[in-house]
Amino acid sequence: MNQPIPYGRQHITDEDIAAVAEVLRGPFLTQGPHIGAFENAFANYIGCKYAVAVANGTAALHLCCMALGVTTGTRVITTPITFSASANCVRYCGGEIFFADIDPATALLDINAVRTLLEQHPKGYFSGIVPVDFAGYPVDMASFRELADEYGLWLLEDSCHSPGGAFLDKKGLTHRCGDGSLAELAIFSFHPVKHIAAGEGGMITTNDEALYKHLLRLRTHGITNKSTDFTEPYPGEPERGGWYMELQELGYNYRLTDMQAALGMSQLNRIDAMFERRQEIAGQYDIAFAGTAITTIVPHANVTHAYHLYVIQIDDRKGLYDFLRTRNIMAQVHYIPVHLMPYYRQFGWKPGDFPNAERYYARCLSLPMFPTLTDEEQAYVIKSVKEFVDA
C-alpha cells in the first residue's frame, strides 16, 4: 500500500461539511439549537431519558465524578486496561483510585477481582466503580449493578468505545451501553477515531433527573439563568431582569459548540450503517485468524460488540508492530496499563500487581478498524499479519 493505513480514521462526508457550514452561516457558533437537538437524538439512539453534551469524553468523566460527589477521601475502583482518563477523573476531584485486574477472556474489568477487593475492606470504604466497555465489548453491567447495590456503590459506565453495543442480562432483557438502566451515569466520546466524530466532544447519559440538572449547571461554570432555580435575590438587587443569573457552585466551561453538535448529529444520522460495517470488518478478521497463533477476543453470544477496536494478541507483539510499520500499516497498542504509568506508580502501584492486565498489554495490538476501511486494505492487513506469523 502506498498510503498508510491507520488503526482508526474519521469519515467526513459532504453532508457533514454542509451541516457545519450551515452553522457557520448562522447566528450561533457556541451554544445554539443544534446542541439540544443532538442531545435529544443521542438520548433516543442510546435509549436513555437525558443526555448532556460536553467538550470531550474526559470532561464528561470529570463532571460525572463531581455530580456523584467524589472528593478528598472518596475511593473508586476501575480497570488498568483503559485510557488514563477513566482513572484521572477521580484524581481531578481529589479522590483515590484503586485498580482491579481484568478478565483475560474479555479484557474487561473482572467482577470477581472487584468483589475480592471489596471484601478486603469494610463496607463504606469504597464509593463507586468505573467499568469500561473496552474496545466496544459491553461490560455486564447487570452483574455490576447487583454488586454495587450490595456494597452501596454508584456505577459510572465509561462507554466511549461502545455506542450501539448491548448485552442480554440473566433475565433475557437487552441493555444498550449507557442506556441508564443500570449505571447512574455513562459517558461517550466523539474523538475522530470513535463511532461518531465531532472533532472533539463527549456526551453524558442518565435516567436520573437530579443528576441531569446538576450536570447542566456544572458544564457551564456552575451558573444557572433559570428562574425556577434561583435563590434569594442579591442584597440590594432591585429587580431580576433578563440579564440575571446565579453562580451557584464551582463548575467548568465544558460546553460543546453548535458546530460540533451539527457535525455529531450528521454523523449520528448514519451511525447504523457505520456500525454494521464495523461488524463486517470484525467478522472477516475473525475468519482470517481462526486456527492461527493469534489470539482474538470472541464475544459471548449474548453480547453485541461495538468494535471501536479490533485487538489481537500475539507473543511477539513488538516484532509484528515493527513489521506492519514497514508495510505502511499503522497498528496501535491499547493500552499501557494505567497502574504502570509514572503518575500512578507514585501511589505504590507496581509491576506484578495485575498479572492478567500486564500479560494482555505485553501481547495486544489493535489492527485497522474503521468503516471506510476497504476490502482491499483489510485483505492487505490480513495477508501482512499472516506473513509475519508464518515466517
pLDDT at 238: 64
Thinking of the domain 271-390, which architecture would CATH place it in? Answer: Alpha-Beta Complex (3.90)
How far from chain centre, in Å, is Cα 240?
41
Q: Mean pLDDT, to the nearest integer, of 298-327?
A: 97
**pLDDT tens sequence across 229-247:** 888 766 666 677 788 888 8
How many residues are recorded in the chain?
391
Do 63 and 214 form a contact (C-beta atoms < 8 A)?
no
pLDDT at 328: 98
Task: Given CATH 2.60.40.1260, say whether it is the number of domain 5-268.
Answer: no
| Extended beta strands in the chain, E state | 5-6, 50-54, 75-78, 96-99, 102-103, 108-109, 128-130, 154-158, 166-168, 174-176, 185-189, 202-206, 223-224, 246-247, 295-296, 303-304, 310-313, 329-330, 364-367
Do 255 and 31 form a contact (C-beta atoms < 8 A)?
yes
**pLDDT tens sequence across 170-190:** 999 999 999 999 999 999 999
Q: Mean pLDDT, to the nearest integer, of 15-35?
A: 95
pLDDT at 327: 97
Please, which pLDDT band fits residue 225 given cuts at 50, 70 and 90? confident
Q: Mean pLDDT, to the nearest integer, of 124-137?
A: 98
* For helices 317-326 and 375-390, angle between their N-to-C axes, nearest 10 degrees: 130
Q: Is the pLDDT of residue 336 over 70?
A: yes
Domain with CATH 3.40.640.10 in the chain: 5-268
Q: What is the pTM of this model?
A: 0.97
Domain with CATH 3.90.1150.10 in the chain: 271-390
How far from chain centre, in Å, is Cα 226?
31
pLDDT at 387: 97
Neighbours of 139 (CB within 10 A): 28
| Extended beta strands in 250-298, E state | 295-296
* Cα gap 156→63, rounded to integer Å: 11
pLDDT at 237: 67
pLDDT at 22: 97
**Cα 257–Cα 180–Cα 309 angle in degrees, nearest 5:** 70
**Cis, bond preceding 335 (omega within 30 deg of 0):** yes
* Cα gap 351→354, rounded to integer Å: 8
Residue 347: Cβ-neighbour burial (10 angstroms; 0-12, 13-18, 19+): exposed
Neighbours of 69 (CB within 10 A): 12
* Cα gap 101→80, rounded to integer Å: 7
Please, which pLDDT band fits residue 275 given cuts at 50, 70 and 90? very high
